[in-house]
């Protein structure tokens, strides 16, 4: 049998990340998060993006800046708050920080590796199960995408390299959500955090621990920025979450070793926490 290519493997991994699955969340103390990380390291493989343009340098710390969209009257927030079934729209930018370069860097940008792409996601939730439709968009093209709803050659190239196949499903999901709102969607709030991730080889189990959640208002030049959306460039956070956020995503029963940790899931949403911090 011919082994799968690295591109095919990366596509499979990304498809696993967007699959329909059960999602449980936990808020952890620093000590509890260390215990979960130790258990995850014993049973799972640390996960990082390895597709086209991936940063393969060792020792990197992985960060996410998530942009949540809503209307001026906060339609998506009100639809999500206290309801088990809803949709949300967000865009994620990933970047890596290399602390080993600290001694020689004169600007934080010199420590950062990233691609100028945001991953626009429509995330659905139905009780404890979630799913995603996802498309990669050059950051500078986001305003035109919302204004015109067109797929550019760059977007199609990103989608083909990441998933293969047609990008119509993701575009349709975004268009339907926009059409369901009475007002235009816009960037509403930002959440920045450092992420650790683990995943089994089959993609049936994925754990992430998010550290240092901070909530920000969207900067005026959000879509014009050529550099990564590192938290230091976002101004003063409106609020922060001191606890760590554990997310457990499964496409089957949770393993016994995870149950043995004695964790109790809670209802928690980064979007709702950020929106509440900014708007009250």
User: Which region among 18-27, 93-102, 176-185, 258-267 has the lowest average model confidence (pLDDT)?
Assistant: 93-102
Residues 6+ apart with CB under 8 A from 226: 116, 140
- 41 pLDDT above the threshold of 70: yes
**Confidence at residue 110, expressed as pLDDT on a 0 to 100 scale:** 61
Element housing 21 (H / E): strand 21-28
217: three-class secondary structure by DSSP: coil
pLDDT-derived band at 201 (thresholds 50, 70, 90) equals confident
pLDDT digits (tens, 9 = 90+) for 246-280: 999 998 888 899 889 999 999 999 999 999 999 99
The residue with greater pLDDT, 172 or 93, is 93
Burial state string for 213-251 with b = 16 or more CB within 10 A and e = fewer than 16: bbbbbbeeebbeeeebbbbebbeebbeebebbbbbbbbe
pLDDT-derived band at 5 (thresholds 50, 70, 90) equals very low
**Average pLDDT estimate for 178-189:** 95
Instruction: Please tell me the pTM assigned to this model.
Output: 0.86
Helix ranges (H only) for the chain are 6-17, 30-43, 75-80, 142-148, 153-162, 168-180, 256-259, 270-279
Share of the chain above pLDDT 90, in %: 54
**Confidence at residue 102, expressed as pLDDT on a 0 to 100 scale:** 54
Return the residue matching tokens 């309801």: 83
pLDDT-derived band at 94 (thresholds 50, 70, 90) equals very high
Q: What angle (nearest 5°) sits at the alpha carbon of residue 170, between those of residues 190 and 163?
A: 100
pLDDT-derived band at 146 (thresholds 50, 70, 90) equals confident
Under a CB-based contact definition with an 8 Å cutoff, are residues 245 and 27 in contact? yes
Residue in 73, 92, 101, 29 with CA at minimum distance from that of residue 229: 92
Domains of the chain: 22-115+187-279 (2.40.320)
**Average pLDDT estimate for 61-66:** 93
**Confidence at residue 108, expressed as pLDDT on a 0 to 100 scale:** 58
Strands 117-126, 61-70: pairing kind: unpaired
**Confidence at residue 7, expressed as pLDDT on a 0 to 100 scale:** 42
User: Which region among 48-57, 117-126, 191-200, 217-226 has the lowest average model confidence (pLDDT)?
Assistant: 48-57
Q: What angle (nearest 5°) sits at the alpha carbon of residue 130, between those of residues 153 and 217?
A: 65
Long-range contacts of 251-254 (CB under 8 A, 24+ apart): 251/19, 251/20, 251/21, 251/22, 251/203, 251/204, 251/205, 252/204, 252/205, 254/205
Report the distance separating Cα 112 and Cα 96, nearest Å: 6
- 177 pLDDT above the threshold of 90: yes
> 24: which 2 tokens?
């449980």
Under a CB-based contact definition with an 8 Å cutoff, are residues 6 and 50 in contact? yes
**Average pLDDT estimate for 26-46:** 95
**Confidence at residue 6, expressed as pLDDT on a 0 to 100 scale:** 41
**Confidence at residue 248, expressed as pLDDT on a 0 to 100 scale:** 95
Q: What are phi and psi of 177, to 5 degrees?
A: -65, -40
pLDDT-derived band at 103 (thresholds 50, 70, 90) equals low
């Amino acid at each position: 049998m011919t082994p799968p290519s690295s591109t095919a493997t990366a596509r499979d991994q990304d498809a696993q990340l967007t699959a329909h699955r059960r999602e449980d969340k936990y808020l952890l103390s620093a000590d509890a998060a260390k215990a979960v990380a130790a258990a995850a390291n014993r049973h799972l493989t640390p996960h990082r993006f390895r597709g086209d343009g991936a940063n393969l340098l060792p020792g990197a710390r992985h960060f996410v800046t998530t942009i949540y969209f809503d209307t001026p009257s906060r339609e998506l927030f009100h639809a999500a708050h206290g309801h088990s079934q809803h949709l949300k729209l967000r865009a994620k930018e990933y970047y890596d920080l290399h602390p080993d370069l600290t001694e020689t860097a004169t600007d934080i940008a010199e420590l950062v590796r990233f691609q100028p792409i945001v991953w626009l996601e429509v995330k659905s939730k139905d009780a404890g199960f979630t799913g995603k439709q996802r498309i990669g968009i050059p950051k500078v093209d986001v305003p035109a995408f919302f204004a015109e709803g067109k797929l550019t050659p760059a977007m199609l190239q990103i989608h083909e390299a990441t998933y293969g196949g047609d990008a119509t499903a993701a575009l349709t999901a975004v268009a339907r959500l926009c059409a369901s709102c009475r007002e235009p969607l816009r960037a509403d709030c930002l959440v920045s955090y450092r992420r650790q991730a683990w995943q089994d080889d089959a993609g049936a189990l994925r754990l992430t621990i998010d550290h240092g959640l901070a909530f920000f208002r969207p900067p005026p030049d959000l879509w014009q920025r050529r550099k990564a959306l590192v938290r230091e460039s976002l101004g003063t956070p409106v609020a922060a979450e001191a606890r760590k956020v554990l997310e457990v995503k499964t496409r089957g029963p949770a393993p016994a070793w995870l149950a043995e940790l004695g964790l109790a899931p809670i209802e928690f949403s980064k979007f709702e926490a950020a929106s509440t911090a900014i708007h009250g």
